[in-house]
Amino acid sequence: MTEMTEGEKTRLILLTGMPGSGKEEFLKICMNRGIRILRMGDFVRSEAVEKGLELTDENVGSLAQARRESDGFDYWAKKTIEALDDRLTLIDGVRGRAEVALFRRSVRNGIVVVAVHASPSTRYKRLVARARSDAPKSWDEFERRDVRELRWGLGDVIARADHIISNEGSLEDLRRTAEAVLDEITQ
Protein backbone atom coordinates (compact mmCIF):
# COMPACT_ATOMS: atom_id res chain seq x y z
CA MET A 1 0.00 0.00 0.00
CA THR A 2 1.36 3.43 -0.90
CA GLU A 3 1.51 5.84 2.02
CA MET A 4 0.28 9.34 1.33
CA THR A 5 2.59 12.09 2.48
CA GLU A 6 1.54 15.01 4.68
CA GLY A 7 -0.37 17.58 2.63
CA GLU A 8 -0.81 15.27 -0.37
CA LYS A 9 -4.24 15.56 -1.95
CA THR A 10 -6.33 12.51 -2.71
CA ARG A 11 -6.80 12.17 -6.45
CA LEU A 12 -8.53 8.79 -6.70
CA ILE A 13 -10.89 6.96 -4.39
CA LEU A 14 -11.06 3.31 -5.41
CA LEU A 15 -14.38 1.86 -4.21
CA THR A 16 -14.76 -1.85 -3.68
CA GLY A 17 -17.08 -4.31 -2.00
CA MET A 18 -19.15 -7.37 -2.67
CA PRO A 19 -22.43 -7.00 -4.59
CA GLY A 20 -25.14 -5.58 -2.31
CA SER A 21 -22.71 -4.31 0.32
CA GLY A 22 -23.79 -0.66 0.00
CA LYS A 23 -21.30 0.77 -2.49
CA GLU A 24 -24.10 2.60 -4.31
CA GLU A 25 -24.99 4.59 -1.18
CA PHE A 26 -21.35 5.59 -0.70
CA LEU A 27 -21.25 6.61 -4.35
CA LYS A 28 -24.38 8.79 -3.96
CA ILE A 29 -22.75 10.66 -1.09
CA CYS A 30 -19.69 11.27 -3.28
CA MET A 31 -21.93 12.57 -6.08
CA ASN A 32 -23.62 14.94 -3.64
CA ARG A 33 -20.17 16.27 -2.75
CA GLY A 34 -19.38 16.90 -6.41
CA ILE A 35 -16.84 14.11 -6.69
CA ARG A 36 -16.52 12.79 -10.24
CA ILE A 37 -17.64 9.17 -10.62
CA LEU A 38 -16.31 6.59 -13.07
CA ARG A 39 -17.91 3.15 -12.94
CA MET A 40 -15.77 0.33 -14.25
CA GLY A 41 -18.96 -1.63 -14.86
CA ASP A 42 -20.11 1.04 -17.33
CA PHE A 43 -17.16 0.11 -19.55
CA VAL A 44 -18.15 -3.57 -19.34
CA ARG A 45 -21.82 -2.83 -20.05
CA SER A 46 -20.90 -0.56 -22.97
CA GLU A 47 -18.86 -3.32 -24.55
CA ALA A 48 -21.68 -5.82 -23.93
CA VAL A 49 -24.13 -3.51 -25.76
CA GLU A 50 -21.64 -3.13 -28.65
CA LYS A 51 -21.55 -6.93 -28.88
CA GLY A 52 -25.36 -7.12 -28.86
CA LEU A 53 -25.54 -8.92 -25.51
CA GLU A 54 -28.54 -8.65 -23.21
CA LEU A 55 -27.48 -6.89 -19.99
CA THR A 56 -27.90 -9.78 -17.56
CA ASP A 57 -25.53 -10.52 -14.70
CA GLU A 58 -24.45 -13.72 -16.43
CA ASN A 59 -23.71 -12.02 -19.77
CA VAL A 60 -21.94 -9.01 -18.27
CA GLY A 61 -20.01 -11.15 -15.78
CA SER A 62 -18.95 -13.60 -18.49
CA LEU A 63 -17.77 -10.76 -20.73
CA ALA A 64 -15.84 -9.17 -17.85
CA GLN A 65 -14.22 -12.52 -17.07
CA ALA A 66 -13.38 -13.28 -20.72
CA ARG A 67 -11.66 -9.91 -21.15
CA ARG A 68 -9.70 -10.39 -17.93
CA GLU A 69 -8.55 -13.81 -19.14
CA SER A 70 -7.67 -12.70 -22.68
CA ASP A 71 -6.29 -9.20 -22.02
CA GLY A 72 -5.18 -9.28 -18.38
CA PHE A 73 -6.92 -8.84 -15.07
CA ASP A 74 -6.32 -5.09 -15.27
CA TYR A 75 -8.12 -4.73 -18.63
CA TRP A 76 -11.09 -2.78 -17.24
CA ALA A 77 -8.81 -0.58 -15.14
CA LYS A 78 -6.91 0.33 -18.34
CA LYS A 79 -10.20 1.38 -19.94
CA THR A 80 -11.03 3.47 -16.87
CA ILE A 81 -7.62 5.17 -16.75
CA GLU A 82 -8.18 6.43 -20.29
CA ALA A 83 -11.08 8.51 -18.93
CA LEU A 84 -9.20 10.09 -15.99
CA ASP A 85 -8.40 13.76 -15.68
CA ASP A 86 -7.07 15.91 -12.82
CA ARG A 87 -10.30 16.03 -10.82
CA LEU A 88 -10.87 14.08 -7.62
CA THR A 89 -12.53 10.92 -8.94
CA LEU A 90 -14.18 7.91 -7.39
CA ILE A 91 -13.61 4.70 -9.36
CA ASP A 92 -16.47 2.32 -8.64
CA GLY A 93 -16.14 -1.43 -9.04
CA VAL A 94 -12.50 -2.23 -8.38
CA ARG A 95 -12.33 -6.02 -8.24
CA GLY A 96 -8.73 -7.16 -7.97
CA ARG A 97 -5.15 -6.49 -6.94
CA ALA A 98 -4.03 -6.12 -10.56
CA GLU A 99 -6.46 -3.22 -10.99
CA VAL A 100 -5.31 -1.50 -7.79
CA ALA A 101 -1.67 -2.00 -8.82
CA LEU A 102 -2.31 -0.45 -12.25
CA PHE A 103 -4.04 2.58 -10.73
CA ARG A 104 -1.12 2.99 -8.30
CA ARG A 105 1.45 2.75 -11.14
CA SER A 106 -0.50 5.09 -13.41
CA VAL A 107 -1.52 7.77 -10.92
CA ARG A 108 1.33 7.22 -8.46
CA ASN A 109 0.11 9.28 -5.48
CA GLY A 110 -3.11 10.28 -3.84
CA ILE A 111 -4.98 6.96 -4.07
CA VAL A 112 -7.24 5.71 -1.28
CA VAL A 113 -9.08 2.38 -1.33
CA VAL A 114 -12.48 2.28 0.40
CA ALA A 115 -14.32 -1.00 0.93
CA VAL A 116 -17.95 -1.32 1.97
CA HIS A 117 -18.66 -4.62 3.70
CA ALA A 118 -21.82 -6.48 4.70
CA SER A 119 -22.55 -10.12 5.50
CA PRO A 120 -23.76 -12.50 2.77
CA SER A 121 -27.28 -12.76 4.24
CA THR A 122 -27.62 -8.97 4.44
CA ARG A 123 -26.33 -8.53 0.91
CA TYR A 124 -28.62 -11.24 -0.49
CA LYS A 125 -31.70 -9.60 1.05
CA ARG A 126 -30.69 -6.22 -0.35
CA LEU A 127 -30.02 -7.55 -3.83
CA VAL A 128 -33.37 -9.33 -3.99
CA ALA A 129 -35.21 -6.29 -2.60
CA ARG A 130 -33.75 -3.84 -5.13
CA ALA A 131 -35.01 -6.11 -7.96
CA ARG A 132 -32.57 -4.96 -10.65
CA SER A 133 -32.17 -7.03 -13.81
CA ASP A 134 -28.96 -8.52 -12.37
CA ALA A 135 -30.53 -9.47 -9.01
CA PRO A 136 -30.00 -13.12 -8.05
CA LYS A 137 -33.01 -15.36 -8.56
CA SER A 138 -31.83 -17.79 -5.86
CA TRP A 139 -29.28 -18.22 -3.08
CA ASP A 140 -27.28 -20.55 -5.37
CA GLU A 141 -27.10 -17.86 -8.06
CA PHE A 142 -26.03 -15.34 -5.40
CA GLU A 143 -23.25 -17.66 -4.23
CA ARG A 144 -22.05 -18.29 -7.80
CA ARG A 145 -21.73 -14.51 -8.30
CA ASP A 146 -19.80 -14.16 -5.03
CA VAL A 147 -17.42 -16.96 -6.04
CA ARG A 148 -16.83 -15.32 -9.44
CA GLU A 149 -16.12 -11.92 -7.85
CA LEU A 150 -13.82 -13.45 -5.22
CA ARG A 151 -11.96 -15.37 -7.94
CA TRP A 152 -11.08 -11.97 -9.48
CA GLY A 153 -9.33 -11.02 -6.22
CA LEU A 154 -12.05 -8.87 -4.67
CA GLY A 155 -11.47 -10.32 -1.19
CA ASP A 156 -7.81 -9.27 -1.33
CA VAL A 157 -8.74 -5.71 -2.26
CA ILE A 158 -11.28 -5.51 0.57
CA ALA A 159 -8.78 -6.93 3.06
CA ARG A 160 -6.12 -4.38 2.06
CA ALA A 161 -8.41 -1.34 1.85
CA ASP A 162 -7.37 1.90 3.55
CA HIS A 163 -10.91 2.26 4.96
CA ILE A 164 -13.45 -0.52 5.56
CA ILE A 165 -17.00 0.56 6.22
CA SER A 166 -19.17 -2.06 7.90
CA ASN A 167 -22.73 -1.80 6.63
CA GLU A 168 -24.91 -3.99 8.81
CA GLY A 169 -26.94 -1.19 10.40
CA SER A 170 -29.39 1.38 9.12
CA LEU A 171 -29.01 3.49 6.01
CA GLU A 172 -28.47 6.49 8.28
CA ASP A 173 -25.62 4.66 10.06
CA LEU A 174 -23.97 3.99 6.71
CA ARG A 175 -24.38 7.60 5.62
CA ARG A 176 -22.85 8.91 8.86
CA THR A 177 -19.87 6.58 8.57
CA ALA A 178 -19.39 7.30 4.87
CA GLU A 179 -19.46 11.06 5.48
CA ALA A 180 -16.83 10.70 8.23
CA VAL A 181 -14.59 8.61 5.97
CA LEU A 182 -14.95 11.14 3.14
CA ASP A 183 -14.21 14.02 5.52
CA GLU A 184 -10.97 12.26 6.48
CA ILE A 185 -10.04 11.49 2.88
CA THR A 186 -10.74 14.96 1.49
CA GLN A 187 -9.22 17.10 4.28
Confidence at residue 1, expressed as pLDDT on a 0 to 100 scale: 37
CATH code, 68? 3.40.50.300
Domain total in the chain: 1
Domain of 119? 12-186
Decide if 164 is inside a domain.
Answer: yes
Decide if 5 is inside a domain.
Answer: no
In the chain, alpha helices (H): 23-32, 40-50, 57-71, 75-81, 97-107, 120-130, 139-151, 154-159, 171-186
Residues of the chain with pLDDT under 50: 1-6
